[in-house]
Amino acid sequence: MPQDALIPLPSKMSFVEGAAIPIAGKTALESMRALNLKSGDTLFIAGASGAIGTLVIQLATAQGIIVIGSASQKNHSYMLSLGAQKAVDYSGPNWAQRLKQWIPEGVTAALAIQPGTVEDSMDLVKDGGTVITVSGDDHVKPKSDISVCQIQHHTDTKEALIRLISDISVGYIQLVIERIYPFQQALEALKKTETRHARGKSVVRV
Ligand SMILES: NC(=O)c1ccc[n+]([C@@H]2O[C@H](COP(=O)([O-])OP(=O)(O)OC[C@H]3O[C@@H](n4cnc5c(N)ncnc54)[C@H](OP(=O)(O)O)[C@@H]3O)[C@@H](O)[C@H]2O)c1
């Protein structure tokens, strides 16, 4: 398929669902590519119940990767239902220490989705491991034995995105849309996104 060709929407998929996939979907796929994990590896996701985390939990667990997600308590059963093996509350006391007791050797890698989560993520990764960041955090001083990199964008991820759209259309991967806003409430949608507490994706219908 030429790189500039439009991706056809599967017949079972609504336009709203189709619109909700590309940005978060591509970011989730680029995250998985950068993490480069294999079955049995452990992955900590900082901010795992948002649009990107919702997809990464499912993509990773489908590959046999053991996922630990962070979000507030209200999202714990949600993350576990998507396949995460453990959920931690980033706002609770000593959450990182408790996680270290569970995996004393540290996790293989971490995905720091929320800005400001790289430092905590570095502490949870074992020596020689990787932290992949989605939102930057380049002011953080890296630890010498942990590599910290931002996701990269590749044009050939389009093929993987087409597979993801197909997997969502048949229900193999769950697409979660928190709310569909009418265009008149677009600013409300933006405000919700800016809270950084949306679950899954928000869509504005034009
Ligand atoms: N969505 C996209 O398509 C997209 C694409 C590219 C890049 N980005 C960027 O990626 C980042 C994340 O986007 P997103 O849409 O997946 O999620 P989001 O809506 O920004 O964040 C929601 C998630 O982050 C958790 N969270 C909030 N503050 C946190 C903290 N201090 N530590 C750990 N977790 C925290 C929330 O949990 P609780 O609600 O339970 O607190 C929830 O799990 C944003 O910076 C965004 O700009 C997003």
CATH code assigned at 45: 3.90.180.10
Q: Which of 76, 113, 192 to mutate to test the pocket of ligand 1 (most atoms within 8 A of CB)?
A: 113
Is residue 141 one of the residues assigned to a domain? yes
The whole-number pLDDT of residue 1 equals: 55
In a domain, residue 31? The reply is yes
84 falls within a domain: yes
Q: Which value, in Å, is the radius of gyration of the alpha carbons in the chain?
A: 17
Q: Is the pTM of this model over 0.85?
A: yes
Are the beta carbons of 70 and 44 closer than 8 angstroms?
yes
In a domain, 4, yes or no: no
Please tell me the distance between residue 48's alpha carbon and the centre of ligand 1 in angstroms: 7
Residue 5 belongs to a domain? no
User: Is residue 117, in this structure, part of any structural domain at all?
Assistant: yes
The count of structural domains within the chain is 1
CA-closest residue to ligand 1 atom 4: 24
- Report the mean per-residue pLDDT for the chain: 93
Residue 200 structural domain: 13-206
**Residue 162: Cβ-neighbour burial (10 angstroms; 0-12, 13-18, 19+):** middle
Q: How many CB atoms lie within 10 A of CB 191?
A: 10
Q: How many residues does the chain have?
A: 206
CA of 159 to the centre of ligand 1 (A): 25
pLDDT score of 3: 56
> Residue 8: inside a domain, yes or no?
no
Task: Kindly state if the Cβ of 90 falls inside 6 Å of ligand 1.
Answer: yes
Tell me the percentage of the chain whose pLDDT exceeds 90. Answer: 82
Q: Which residue's CA lies nearest to atom 25 of ligand 1?
A: 47
φ, ψ of residue 85 in degrees (nearest 5): -85, -25
Residue 176 lies in a domain: yes
